[in-house]
Chains A and B, each alone.
Chain A
């Protein structure tokens, strides 16, 4: 089989431009990049079939250079149909992103940022423990002391919370729980 050099070069250029565009943050450019990449791949598939303009395979023992292999063309057709569907879907996604956020940038994952920003220490392990004052007291006194200690610890936690969530997580959580409670519903 003799490959067609022009087609190979074009497909190479398509790959290069496509990869460059896919690495962008703007969704429209990513979409254009994906379209270029698929077309590059389609051209590559096409070149595996031999020269254009020859008749398809017709008899046993034909010289490989004397016919075109029709099978890659069937592959290309399938691949074009698939990329058509995916491009349509991507367009809808881009439009929806624009509708929701008036922009087509790929957004950061909030939860991801939050996890990355958290410190190594766990709040639970560092929580203020009620002092153990129950030793050498009779039972009722001890129970009262425990209750007071737990109450004051809880007050401290609440106060710390009210002063502003230490992890700045409430905004992100608000969104999450909203989403959860209305699972699958349109926000509008």
Chain B
């Protein structure tokens, strides 16, 4: 038996865990043990999946032995299993952080807070399902699972600020899901299938205008989820109000699921380069507008949300070049960004806890107060800004290399913008460093009287610091093991651009052959 056929467990285990934790709603301790255990088990399973496809190999798992393209298919390839492993490791760290925060705060009341564990596990199940989905409708279901769980997590506690943020978030997400659903209806009406491998063969038969319509509809739906400018307005508005661990896991995973879906659309469904130029413009605008927004902020969590939007631009850029090196850099950059952005949000939560505020107008002297916190902020911040030799630098280097070797004026413009945005990211993060960590507390513009009188309002529980440190270490590990990771990203990119391994795994040789012929006829040249 192939190990990869265990793939459905990556979705089923967290769902099962969610059911158990829901039954244990009143037993906090048991809830904690079950959810951490389940996530750790899922992570172990996903590492096995990754090991089984490492170095090449795509496995399709038909659910209930229904033969594709009729049944539901899960597809494990290098890209999806890499994403699974990274997302589960990040979720595990965030879960430990959230649990110890809850323990430290003495959250022993039963109330809406005990809904956290089931919702978190359903979120993980949804993310795994979206990464594994081999057909559009299953992708939609995965999206809905993670979105519905995220609605609950975002509005946890039901305070005024969170309800306000939650309303924007829910409405925007529902509209994006509707766009996706309408796109699915149109795809089904046009081709009679929703299986992605089958679509890869059949979409090529449609008229170019129809293809363009379906392509744009799908990208719009995914673009809202990935927070690509100008569809990104909702993100900085809704993320910062949620509890720190929730914001962290959203920042790490949810937008990346959108990026993942965009990658699949661009490589598998519509391999042509008809939308590459608009995508590059969008990438450029996302980078620039996002980072300019970040520079105006004084709240660390809001600032980080804007940098999150800005860096989605890099991933879209790599995708828009549709070359192996560009796509490989996107894959690598997604892994780097999930880890680093999540750890920065966790650090922001620690700052809030330690100093009682996350506004850089009020903070000061944190580096003296807690050097460890300073280190935990400094490393991922430099990593995000792309200081050599960290993984952010390596990812950006790959993107720049791909852009320069493509050589079109538009690509060069995005390369220049990418370098400028990386500098501006450094500026934004250095501003936080200079104000929150470096200056003396009474130099703050709006010094908190209470904070000045009592410089130690909160303590940082060891497990929270430990979980954050673990994630920071994972970010550094991505730097140390960048060589093998980049080569596996390159193979994944190669497989995705080639399409043959995916289609062969799902539908067999003949379909793959037909798709390849079509691509050759349409003049899609692949390096």
Contact of A107 among B101, B164, B182, B296 (CB under 8 A): B164
List the A residue with the shortest CB-CB distance to B116: A184
Decide if B347 is an interface residue (CB 8 Å cutoff): no
Decide if B216 is an interface residue (CB 8 Å cutoff): no
The answer on a CB contact under 8 Å between B446 and A86 is no
Among listed A41-49, A132-140, A141-149, interface-contacting one: A41-49
The answer on a CB contact under 8 Å between B170 and A22 is no
Q: Which residues of A contact B148 (CB under 8 A)?
A: 82, 85-86, 89
Q: In whole angstroms, how far apart are the Cα atoms of A79 and B143 in the complex?
A: 12
Q: Which residues of B contact A48 (CB under 8 A)?
A: 185, 188-189
Q: Which residues of A contact B170 (CB under 8 A)?
A: 86, 89-90, 93
Q: In whole angstroms, how far apart are the Cα atoms of A69 and B189 in the complex?
A: 11
| B355 CB, min distance to chain A CBs, angstroms | 10
Chain A positions 6-58 with a Cβ under 8 Å from a chain B Cβ: 22, 27, 30, 34, 37-38, 41, 44-45, 47-48
List the A residue with the shortest CB-CB distance to B164: A107
The answer on a CB contact under 8 Å between A93 and B155 is yes
Q: Which residues of A contact B299 (CB under 8 A)?
A: 111, 176
Given contacts A41-B185, A44-B185, A175-B161, contact A183 B237 (CB under 8 A): no
Given contacts A27-B167, A101-B160, contact A170 B178 (CB under 8 A): no
Task: Name the residue in B161, B186, B448 with the highest tally of chain A Cβ atoms < 10 Å from its Cβ.
Answer: B161
Given contacts A1-B189, A27-B167, A93-B166, contact A179 B144 (CB under 8 A): no
Task: Name the residue in A45, A176, A179, A183 with the highest tally of chain B Cβ atoms < 10 Å from its Cβ.
Answer: A183
Q: Which residues of A contact B362 (CB under 8 A)?
A: 173
The answer on a CB contact under 8 Å between A184 and B157 is yes
Contact of A79 among B160, B161, B164, B181 (CB under 8 A): B181
Contact of A111 among B189, B302, B447 (CB under 8 A): B302
Given contacts A41-B181, A90-B170, contact A180 B357 (CB under 8 A): yes
Q: In whole angstroms, how far apart are the Cα atoms of A153 and B67 in the complex?
A: 77
Decide if B445 is an interface residue (CB 8 Å cutoff): yes
Q: Which residues of B contact A79 (CB under 8 A)?
A: 181
Q: Which residues of A contact B189 (CB under 8 A)?
A: 1, 3, 47-48
Q: In whole angstroms, how far apart are the Cα atoms of A45 and B297 in the complex?
A: 43
Q: Which residues of B contact A34 (CB under 8 A)?
A: 171, 174-175
Decide if A66 is an interface residue (CB 8 Å cutoff): no
The answer on a CB contact under 8 Å between A177 and B435 is no
The answer on a CB contact under 8 Å between A22 and B161 is no
The answer on a CB contact under 8 Å between B445 and A41 is no
Q: In whole angstroms, how far apart are the Cα atoms of A93 and B141 in the complex?
A: 23
Q: Is chain A's interface secondary structure helix, strand, loop, or mixed overall?
A: helix
Decide if B356 is an interface residue (CB 8 Å cutoff): yes
Q: Which residues of A contact B146 (CB under 8 A)?
A: none
Decide if A118 is an interface residue (CB 8 Å cutoff): yes
Q: In whole angstroms, how far apart are the Cα atoms of A78 and B163 in the complex?
A: 27
The answer on a CB contact under 8 Å between B163 and A93 is yes
Q: In whole angstroms, how far apart are the Cα atoms of A86 and B152 in the complex?
A: 10
Q: Which residues of A contact B361 (CB under 8 A)?
A: 169
The answer on a CB contact under 8 Å between B167 and A106 is yes
Q: Which residues of B contact A90 (CB under 8 A)?
A: 170, 174
| B173 CB, min distance to chain A CBs, angstroms | 9
Q: In whole angstroms, how far apart are the Cα atoms of A177 and B442 in the complex?
A: 18
Q: In whole angstroms, how far apart are the Cα atoms of A27 and B141 in the complex?
A: 26
| B297 CB, min distance to chain A CBs, angstroms | 6
The answer on a CB contact under 8 Å between B113 and A184 is yes
Residue pairs across A and B with CB atoms within 8 Å: the count is 142
| B195 CB, min distance to chain A CBs, angstroms | 11
Interface string of A56-88 (1 = CB under 8 A from B): 000000000000010110010011001001100
Q: Which residues of B contact A115 (CB under 8 A)?
A: 296-298, 302
Decide if B151 is an interface residue (CB 8 Å cutoff): yes
Decide if B359 is an interface residue (CB 8 Å cutoff): yes
Decide if A165 is an interface residue (CB 8 Å cutoff): yes
Interface string of B97-126 (1 = CB under 8 A from A): 000010001010001110000000000000
The answer on a CB contact under 8 Å between B157 and A86 is no
Q: Which residues of B contact A45 (CB under 8 A)?
A: 181, 184-185, 188
Q: Which residues of A contact B165 (CB under 8 A)?
A: 109
Q: Which residues of A contact B241 (CB under 8 A)?
A: 179
Q: Which residues of A contact B166 (CB under 8 A)?
A: 93
The answer on a CB contact under 8 Å between A118 and B296 is yes
Contact of A86 among B107, B111, B167, B174 (CB under 8 A): B174
Contact of A186 among B111, B243, B357 (CB under 8 A): B111
Q: In whole angstroms, how far apart are the Cα atoms of A181 and B177 in the complex?
A: 35
Decide if A100 is an interface residue (CB 8 Å cutoff): yes
Task: Name the residue in B113, B141, B160, B243 with the highest tally of chain A Cβ atoms < 10 Å from its Cβ.
Answer: B160
The answer on a CB contact under 8 Å between A187 and B178 is no
Decide if A124 is an interface residue (CB 8 Å cutoff): yes
Q: In whole angstroms, how far apart are the Cα atoms of A36 and B373 in the complex?
A: 49
Q: In whole angstroms, how far apart are the Cα atoms of A118 and B166 in the complex?
A: 26
Decide if B263 is an interface residue (CB 8 Å cutoff): no
Q: In whole angstroms, how far apart are the Cα atoms of A22 and B174 in the complex?
A: 11
The answer on a CB contact under 8 Å between B445 and A123 is yes
Q: In whole angstroms, how far apart are the Cα atoms of A167 and B113 in the complex?
A: 35
Q: Which residues of A contact B324 (CB under 8 A)?
A: none
Decide if A131 is an interface residue (CB 8 Å cutoff): no
The answer on a CB contact under 8 Å between A185 and B157 is yes
The answer on a CB contact under 8 Å between A96 and B163 is yes
The answer on a CB contact under 8 Å between A177 and B174 is no
Q: Which residues of B contact A100 (CB under 8 A)?
A: 158, 160, 163
List the B residue with the shortest CB-CB distance to A181: B356
Q: In whole angstroms, how far apart are the Cα atoms of A48 and B137 in the complex?
A: 14
List the B residue with the shortest CB-CB distance to A166: B445
A44-B182, A106-B167, A183-B243 given; 5 more Cβ-contact pairs under 8 Å: A41-B185, A78-B137, A161-B447, A183-B105, A184-B107
Residue contacts A-B, CB under 8 angstroms, 11 given: A75-B184, A78-B137, A86-B148, A89-B148, A89-B151, A90-B174, A101-B160, A111-B240, A115-B296, A124-B445, A185-B157
Nearest 10 A/B pairs, CB to CB:
A48-B189, A45-B185, A123-B445, A44-B185, A184-B157, A107-B164, A82-B144, A41-B181, A100-B160, A48-B188
